[in-house]
Protein backbone atom coordinates (compact mmCIF):
# COMPACT_ATOMS: atom_id res chain seq x y z
CA UNK A 1 0.00 0.00 0.00
CA UNK A 2 1.11 3.59 -0.65
CA UNK A 3 1.75 5.40 2.62
CA UNK A 4 0.77 9.07 2.85
CA UNK A 5 2.70 11.09 5.42
CA UNK A 6 1.04 14.39 6.18
CA UNK A 7 2.56 17.30 8.11
CA UNK A 8 2.15 19.05 10.37
CA UNK A 9 -0.33 17.12 12.50
CA UNK A 10 -1.63 20.39 13.88
CA UNK A 11 -1.22 24.00 12.98
CA UNK A 12 -2.15 27.28 14.62
CA UNK A 13 -2.38 30.40 12.45
CA UNK A 14 -3.81 33.91 12.52
CA UNK A 15 -6.58 35.33 10.38
CA UNK A 16 -5.20 36.57 7.08
CA UNK A 17 -2.11 34.39 7.31
CA UNK A 18 -0.99 31.95 4.62
CA UNK A 19 -0.68 28.32 5.68
CA UNK A 20 0.81 25.31 3.93
CA UNK A 21 0.14 21.64 4.59
CA UNK A 22 2.41 18.98 3.14
CA UNK A 23 1.78 15.42 2.05
CA UNK A 24 4.49 12.95 1.08
CA UNK A 25 3.74 9.68 -0.68
CA UNK A 26 5.87 6.56 -0.22
CA UNK A 27 6.21 6.31 -4.00
CA UNK A 28 5.44 8.40 -7.06
CA UNK A 29 1.68 8.93 -7.36
CA UNK A 30 1.81 10.90 -10.62
CA UNK A 31 -0.44 13.73 -9.39
CA UNK A 32 -3.17 11.32 -8.31
CA UNK A 33 -3.86 13.35 -5.20
CA UNK A 34 -6.87 15.03 -3.64
CA UNK A 35 -7.28 17.32 -0.64
CA UNK A 36 -10.31 17.42 1.63
CA UNK A 37 -11.56 19.68 4.40
CA UNK A 38 -13.49 18.16 7.28
CA UNK A 39 -15.26 20.04 10.05
CA UNK A 40 -16.24 18.30 13.33
CA UNK A 41 -19.22 16.00 12.92
CA UNK A 42 -19.35 16.54 9.15
CA UNK A 43 -18.30 14.57 6.13
CA UNK A 44 -15.13 15.55 4.23
CA UNK A 45 -15.50 18.11 1.45
CA UNK A 46 -13.38 17.95 -1.69
CA UNK A 47 -11.07 20.94 -2.22
CA UNK A 48 -8.49 19.88 -4.80
CA UNK A 49 -8.12 16.96 -7.21
CA UNK A 50 -5.37 15.96 -9.64
CA UNK A 51 -3.00 17.68 -7.21
CA UNK A 52 -3.78 21.20 -8.41
CA UNK A 53 -7.34 21.40 -9.82
CA UNK A 54 -9.76 23.42 -7.73
CA UNK A 55 -13.11 21.71 -7.17
CA UNK A 56 -16.20 23.66 -8.21
CA UNK A 57 -17.28 26.20 -5.64
CA UNK A 58 -14.09 26.08 -3.57
CA UNK A 59 -12.68 29.55 -2.81
CA UNK A 60 -9.65 30.52 -4.84
CA UNK A 61 -7.59 31.07 -1.68
CA UNK A 62 -7.12 27.29 -1.68
CA UNK A 63 -4.49 25.92 -4.04
CA UNK A 64 -2.63 22.67 -4.52
CA UNK A 65 0.77 21.94 -5.98
CA UNK A 66 3.43 19.30 -6.18
CA UNK A 67 4.53 16.31 -8.18
CA UNK A 68 6.11 12.92 -7.75
CA UNK A 69 5.97 12.12 -4.05
CA UNK A 70 5.68 15.64 -2.60
CA UNK A 71 2.46 17.67 -2.56
CA UNK A 72 1.14 20.67 -0.70
CA UNK A 73 -2.07 22.51 0.02
CA UNK A 74 -1.84 26.28 0.49
CA UNK A 75 -4.50 28.46 2.05
CA UNK A 76 -4.02 32.17 1.38
CA UNK A 77 -5.52 34.80 3.65
CA UNK A 78 -6.86 32.41 6.29
CA UNK A 79 -10.52 32.91 7.17
CA UNK A 80 -12.32 31.79 10.35
CA UNK A 81 -14.38 29.29 8.33
CA UNK A 82 -11.16 27.51 7.33
CA UNK A 83 -10.76 26.11 10.85
CA UNK A 84 -11.03 22.38 10.18
CA UNK A 85 -9.03 19.23 9.62
CA UNK A 86 -7.44 18.66 6.24
CA UNK A 87 -6.65 15.29 4.63
CA UNK A 88 -4.78 14.26 1.53
CA UNK A 89 -5.76 11.15 -0.45
CA UNK A 90 -3.89 9.29 -3.16
CA UNK A 91 -5.86 7.55 -5.89
CA UNK A 92 -2.98 6.53 -8.12
CA UNK A 93 -3.15 2.95 -6.87
CA UNK A 94 -5.45 0.67 -4.92
CA UNK A 95 -6.09 0.65 -2.07
CA UNK A 96 -6.70 4.37 -1.92
CA UNK A 97 -4.99 5.79 1.16
CA UNK A 98 -5.26 8.98 3.18
CA UNK A 99 -2.89 11.08 5.20
CA UNK A 100 -3.46 11.20 8.96
CA UNK A 101 -4.78 14.73 8.77
CA UNK A 102 -3.81 18.24 9.82
CA UNK A 103 -5.90 20.06 12.40
CA UNK A 104 -5.92 23.79 11.67
CA UNK A 105 -6.80 26.17 14.49
CA UNK A 106 -6.84 29.93 14.90
CA UNK A 107 -4.10 31.56 16.92
Partner 1 sequence: EVQLQQSGAELVKPGASVKLSCKTSGYTFSNYYMSWLKQMPGQNIEWIGNIYGGNGGTGYNQKFKGKATLTVDKSSSTAYMDLSSLTSEDSAVYFCAMGSDWFAYWGQGTLVTVSS
Question: 41 vs 2, 36, 76, 91, CA distance in Å?
Answer: 27, 14, 25, 25
Sites for partner 1 among residues 80-99 (CB under 8 A): 87, 89, 91, 94-99
With respect to partner 1, which residue has the nearer C-beta, 6 or 78? 6
**x/- map, 53-82, partner 1, by CB under 8 A:** --x---------------------------
Closest by CA to 89, choosing from 8, 32, 20, is: 32
Q: How far apart are CA 55 and CA 70, in angstroms?
A: 20
Find the binder of partner 1 among 11, 13, 46, 83 (CB under 8 A). Answer: 46
Amino acid sequence: DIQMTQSPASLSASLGETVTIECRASEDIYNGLAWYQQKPGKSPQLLIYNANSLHTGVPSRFSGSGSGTQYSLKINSLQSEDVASYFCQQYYDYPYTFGAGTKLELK
